Amino acid sequence: MTKIDIFSGFLGAGKTTLIKKLIKEAFAGQQVVLIENEFGEIGIDGGFLKESGIQINELNAGCICCSLVGDFRTALQQVVEQYHPDRIVIEPSGVGKLSDVTRAVEGVAEHLDVQLNSFVTVADVNKVKMYMKNFGEFYDDQISHASCILLSRTQTASEEKIAAAVAMLREKNPTATIVTTAWDELTGEQILKAMSTKDDFKAELIAMAAKANEEHSHEDEEEEHHHHHHHYDENGVCSCGHHHDHDDDDEDEHEHHHDHDEDDDHDEHEHHHHDHDDHDHCCCGHHHDHDDDDDEDEHEHEHHHDHDGHCCCGHHHHHDHDADEVFTSWGVETARKFTKAEVERALTELDTGNYGMILRSKGIVNGGADGWLEFDYVPGEWEVRARGADVGGKLVVIGSKLNEKAIAELFGC
Tell me the residue type at 117: N
Q: Of 204, 209, 201, 208, which Cα lies nearest the Cα of 333? A: 201
Burial of 398 (0-12, 13-18, 19+ CB in 10 A): buried
Q: Please compute, for residue 139, the number of CA atoms within 13 A of its CA located in the half-sphere on the CB side.
A: 17
Same domain, 162 and 234: no
Report whether 2 contacts 32 (CB < 8 A).
Answer: no
Q: What does the alpha-carbon distance between residue 273 and residue 379 come to, in Å, rounded to a whole number?
A: 9
Count of domains forming the chain? 2
Please give the helix or strand (H or E) that residue 28 lies within, else none.
none
Query: 244 and 379: one domain?
Result: yes
198, 229, 257 — which closes off a domain? 198
Domain hosting 61: range is: 2-198
At 49 the pLDDT is 56
Domain termination site, one of 166, 198, 230: 198
CATH number at residue 91: 3.40.50.300
Among candidate residues 238, 263, 13, 45, the one with its CA nearest the CA of residue 120? 13
Residues 170 and 267 in one domain: no
62 plus 100 within the same structural domain: yes
pTM recorded for the entire structure: 0.54
Q: In what order do the strands lie in the sheet with 32-36?
A: 55-56, 32-36, 87-91, 2-8, 114-124, 148-152, 177-179
Residue-level pLDDT at 252: 42
Angle formed at CA 212 by CA 176 and CA 327, multiple of 5 degrees: 55
In a shared domain, residues 97 and 194: yes
CB 362 within 8 A of CB 376: yes
Residues 188 and 207 in one domain: no
The enclosing domain of 276 has a CATH number of 3.30.1220.10
* Residue at a domain's end among 140, 173, 198: 198
Nearest CA to 401 among 287, 245, 231?
Answer: 287
Query: Within this chain, do residues 154 and 214 fall inside the same structural domain, yes or no?
Result: no
* Pair (20, 157) in one structural domain: yes
Tell me, yes or no, whether 205 and 177 share the same domain.
Answer: no
Q: Is 275 exposed, middle or buried (0-12, 13-18, 19+ CB in 10 A)?
A: exposed
pLDDT at 328: 80
Residue 283 amino acid letter: C
Asked if 255 and 296 sit in the same domain, the reply is yes
In the chain, which stretches have pLDDT less than 50?
39-44, 58-69, 224-270, 273-325
Residue 256 confidence (pLDDT) = 41
**298 and 164 in a common domain:** no
CB atoms within 10 A of CB 143: 24
pLDDT tens, residue by residue, 16-55: 889 989 988 999 888 888 887 654 333 435 555 555 555 5
Q: Give the distance, in angstroms, between the CA of residue 212 and the centroid of all CA atoms in the same chain.
A: 21
Do residue 257 and residue 121 come from a single domain?
no
The H or E element that residue 378 is part of is strand 372-378
Q: Which amino acid belongs to residue 82?
A: Q
Among 315, 369, 314, 362, CA closest to 338: 369
